[in-house]
């Protein structure tokens, strides 16, 4: 709970501080589809199957326009990532269950730099901080969590600004190892997000 509170406080600080000198302020909601995988580059010794699977995202965003072409867009997003253990995972790591679906629910905070060459188009890039809220089940025999509670990623994408609507796509590359199982390869989140947003103010 402490990590989640810190992330939310961080987001609110950015919005309050930025809105005091921003040339334009927007607030809205968004939702979409995640096409993610948890990579495990262990070859024949992989515990996860490295396949893209569908999930969802839902949350809110703020836009702090520092100038006509530059802004900051912090977001608070609930994101679901799906993965699955490899078919032979139990023969590689004896503490893993075999052929098991896994659902990871993250509270994520992207803090994106918005570069807008035109009114309709915005290019976005920046870091994303995430806290694992829960996973569908533990899949180690001693009932310990298999995934770390924190995640850090980089985000890049494009967004179309259509009046009060925003349509976009982005790619997320995990930089931190999210495996909490001893003696495993590094596991990292990676995938695409497609979304539709609606500006409230």
Phi, then psi, of 132 in degrees rounded to 5: -75, 115
Tens of pLDDT, residue by residue, the chain (201 residues): 555 565 566 556 655 555 555 567 889 999 999 999 988 876 556 778 788 999 999 999 999 998 889 999 999 999 999 888 776 555 555 555 554 778 889 999 999 999 999 999 999 999 999 999 887 655 655 545 778 889 999 999 999 999 999 999 999 999 999 988 777 788 999 999 999 999 998
Q: What is the pLDDT of residue 185?
A: 83
Would you state the pLDDT for residue 24? Answer: 78
**Helix, strand, coil percent values for the chain (each to nearest 5):** 10, 60, 30
User: Domain limits at 27?
Assistant: 2-199
Tokens of 148: 């770390």
Tokens, residue 75: 């977001």
- Tell me the CB-side half-sphere exposure of residue 178, using CA atoms within 13 A: 27
Residue (of 173, 176, 172, 126) closest to 151 by Cα position: 176
| Res 183: pLDDT | 73
Predicted local confidence at residue 9, as pLDDT = 62
Identify the pLDDT of residue 42: 62
Three-state secondary-structure class, residue 46: coil
Half-sphere exposure of 131 (CA within 13 A, CB side): 12
Q: Which of 83, 85, 63 is nearest to 75 (CA)?
A: 63
Q: Give the separation between CA 54 and CA 63, rounded to whole angstroms.
A: 27
Pick from 170, 150, 152: which is nearest to 160 by CA?
170
Per-residue b or e along 67-95, where b marks 16 or more CB atoms closer than 10 Å to that residue's CB: eeeebbbbbbbebbbbbbbbeebbebbeb
First to last CA, the chain: 30
Give the CA diameter of the chain: 58
What total number of domains does the chain contain? 1
CATH number reported for the structural domain that contains residue 18 in this entry: 2.40.160.20
């Amino acid at each position: 709970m402490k990590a989640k509170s810190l992330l939310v406080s961080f987001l609110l600080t950015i919005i309050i501080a930025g809105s005091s000198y921003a040339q334009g302020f927007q607030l809205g909601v968004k939702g979409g589809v995640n096409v993610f995988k948890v990579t495990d580059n262990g070859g024949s010794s992989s515990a996860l199957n490295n396949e893209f699977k569908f999930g969802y995202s839902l949350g809110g965003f703020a836009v702090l326009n520092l100038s006509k072409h530059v802004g900051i867009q912090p977001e608070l997003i609930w994101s679901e990532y799906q993965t699955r253990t490899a078919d032979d995972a139990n023969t590689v790591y004896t503490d893993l269950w075999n052929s098991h679906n896994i659902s990871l629910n993250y509270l994520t905070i992207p803090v994106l730099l918005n570069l807008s060459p035109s009114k309709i188009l915005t290019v976005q890039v920046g870091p994303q901080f995430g806290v694992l809220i829960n996973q569908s089940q533990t899949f180690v025999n001693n009932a310990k969590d298999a995934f770390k509670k924190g995640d850090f990623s980089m985000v890049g994408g494009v967004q179309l600004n259509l009046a009060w609507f925003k349509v976009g796509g982005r790619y997320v590359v995990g930089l931190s190892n999210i495996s909490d199982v001893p003696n495993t390869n590094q596991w990292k989140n990676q995938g695409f997000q497609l979304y539709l947003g609606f500006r409230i103010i």
